[in-house]
Amino acid sequence: MDILLSTLNYLIYSASILFFLVVSWKSFRERNIRAGIVSVLFSLLPVLLCYFFHEWLYFSFTGPLILLVLIIVPGSKYRNDLCLPAERFDERDITFARYRLKAGSENYSSYYEKNPEKEESDSRTRALPGLLAEKSKYFHKLNSSAADASFFLLHQLKDSVDGPVAEQNGNYTAEQISDYIHSMAVDDGASIYGTALIKPEHYYSHKGRGTDSYGKEIPIKHRYAIVLGSEMRSSNTATAPLSPEVVETGKRYVDCAVWAVQTASFIRSLGYSARAHIDGNYQVIPPLVANEAGLGGFGWSSLFLTKKYGPRVRYSVVTTDLELPQGGKQVDFLSFCNICRKCATCCPSRAINQERLEKLNADRCFMYWNAVGTDCGRCLAVCPMGHPWGILKTLALRSIIAARLLKGLDDLFYGRKPRSLPMPQWMENTQ
């Protein structure tokens, strides 16, 4: 019995040492020195305890064990249906589409005739320096040019999202093709991959951006979808709202746009219709499709969160008539979010309500982007679900005790209001 108890004891302490060492390694890799140092100290704690209080600790596995039992007891469940529209959304209503309306144009007049309440605040946003613009607060010449280069490439890809469908060829089943596409995506480096059945409300109702004419009704063409996601590296997002964040955004949008255009073309070459949906040329709303695919769920910030990367992911989608597996269950993040609310605390524009769960105020957020010249991203950077907490994140979604533990640790390691990391040295040198 003694041997069993002491083995259990050492297993528990070894697991905790390993856990904090992994957190520290990941934190240093992401240039987060504070989190790295605190986690090294935490990993040393069991070693010091064992060294100084060896006899006492011999049977002390019960403490961690009780904690373990407590944190696997399920807590309350929430569903975040706030971000799930009951009907199709008109792309002309999104801030990006409204921002592009030119005063005096026919589209401008017809839009604001129908939506007069939006004209004043949209005009105020247009009067700001603008995203990546020289007079904006965090303008950095080379970083802005780098981000611009990514958006240039995305613009070039906009015309390649669809194309002619070949005759069906080969004797492959839909399942074989689907498995091949999945493996190809993983091989290409996609961080997130999923498939889903498309619902009508996943499609925008009318075009507001992209290559189709403004205001054109969007037909629901496909029943199946592939979601491709590219992780945004936290070493760059942690500088938010500084310009490395927007450089990272552009690059990750390019990754998933290239994968989507390539995948859609591949599917068409096998005789099935397919269209890529990439930044600036969507017909579907990627977070809704990712949600349907069971890749995560919506958080307090209204952003789509995954368990592994939190909100630090950019997405593209391929819709097709190739039969694909349907998705999984939505992940409930709100039980944790309800305790956390860090995105709301840290949002510089107060676009996320701190007191109650409501949809992100996208106009307020976008106005801030146009003032500072980057896509801000503080809500991505500070989210504990985007930090390397491994299994603790899964536990925090199940139990209130684990949720409080994770929130406490995250505050300790990263700060209640984490400071933005400085830019990487190679960017700083060219400021």
424: nearest Cα among 244, 182, 177, 195? 244
Tell the smallest beta-carbon distance from residue 406 to ligand SF4 (Å). Answer: 9
Segments in 293-372 forming alpha helices (H)? 334-340, 342-346, 362-372
Cα distance between residue 233 and residue 312, in whole Å: 8
Q: Which is nearer to ligand SF4, 294 or 348 (CB)?
A: 348
Please report whether residue 347 would count as binding ligand SF4 according to CB under 6 A: yes
Q: Which is nearer to ligand SF4, 161 or 421 (CB)?
A: 421
Please report whether residue 348 would count as binding ligand SF4 according to CB under 6 A: yes
Please report whether residue 373 would count as binding ligand SF4 according to CB under 6 A: no
Segments in 100-243 forming alpha helices (H)? 106-114, 119-126, 141-157, 174-188, 234-237
Q: Which is nearer to ligand SF4, 242 or 343 (CB)?
A: 343
- Terminal-residue alpha carbon distance, the chain: 64
Cα distance between residue 268 and residue 168, in whole Å: 9
Tell the smallest beta-carbon distance from residue 375 to ligand SF4 (Å). Answer: 6
Burial of residue 71, with CB atoms counted within 10 A of its CB: 0-12 exposed, 13-18 middle, 19 or more buried = buried
Tell the smallest beta-carbon distance from residue 370 to ligand SF4 (Å). Answer: 11
What's the count of helices (H) and strands (E) in the chain, helices before strands?
Answer: 19, 6
Tell the smallest beta-carbon distance from residue 410 to ligand SF4 (Å). Answer: 9
Q: Which of 38, 351, 397, 421 binds ligand SF4 (CB under 6 A)?
A: 351
How far is CA 131 from each of CA 119, 141, 209, 370, rounded to the nearest angstrom?
20, 12, 17, 5
Q: Which of 301, 320, 335, 374 binds ligand SF4 (CB under 6 A)?
A: 301
Task: Considering only residues 270 through 299, tell me which ones interact with ligand SF4, judged by CB under 6 A.
Answer: 299
Q: Which of 92, 342, 387, 398 binds ligand SF4 (CB under 6 A)?
A: 342
Q: Which of 12, 360, 392, 409 binds ligand SF4 (CB under 6 A)?
A: 360
User: Across the strands, what pairs with 228?
Assistant: 193, 316
Tokens of 37: 């140092």
Tokens of 135: 């007079």
Over the window 68 to 107, marking each residue x when it contacts ligand SF4 by CB under 6 A and - when it does not, the resulting string is ----------------------------------------
Q: Which is nearer to ligand SF4, 260 or 395 (CB)?
A: 395
Stretch that binds ligand SF4, among 24-32, 183-191, 215-223, 382-390 (CB under 6 A): 382-390
Tell the smallest beta-carbon distance from residue 182 to ligand SF4 (Å). Answer: 28
Q: Which of 154, 340, 402, 421 binds ligand SF4 (CB under 6 A)?
A: 340
DSSP 144: H
Tell the smallest beta-carbon distance from residue 429 to ligand SF4 (Å). Answer: 26
316: nearest Cα among 158, 136, 110, 101? 158
Tell the smallest beta-carbon distance from residue 371 to ligand SF4 (Å). Answer: 10
Q: Which is nearer to ligand SF4, 144 or 370 (CB)?
A: 370
Q: Which is nearer to ligand SF4, 61 or 413 (CB)?
A: 413
For ligand SF4 (CB under 6 A), the number of binding residues is 27
User: Across the strands, what pairs with 229?
Assistant: 192, 315
Please report whether residue 384 would count as binding ligand SF4 according to CB under 6 A: yes
SS3 track for 223-236: CEEEEEEEECCHHH
Cα distance between residue 146 and residue 251, in whole Å: 9
Cα distance between residue 128 and residue 123, in whole Å: 9
Please report whether residue 383 would count as binding ligand SF4 according to CB under 6 A: yes
Cα distance between residue 167 and residue 348, in whole Å: 53
Chain residue at closest Cβ approach to ligand SF4:
299
How far is CA 411 from each of CA 12, 27, 383, rounded to the nearest angstrom?
24, 14, 11
Please report whether residue 418 would count as binding ligand SF4 according to CB under 6 A: no
Q: Are 119 and 112 in contact (CB under 8 A)?
A: yes
Tell the smallest beta-carbon distance from residue 345 to ligand SF4 (Å). Answer: 8
The binding site for ligand SF4 (CB under 6 A) comprises 299-301, 305, 333, 336-337, 340-343, 347-349, 351-352, 360, 365, 368, 376-379, 382-385
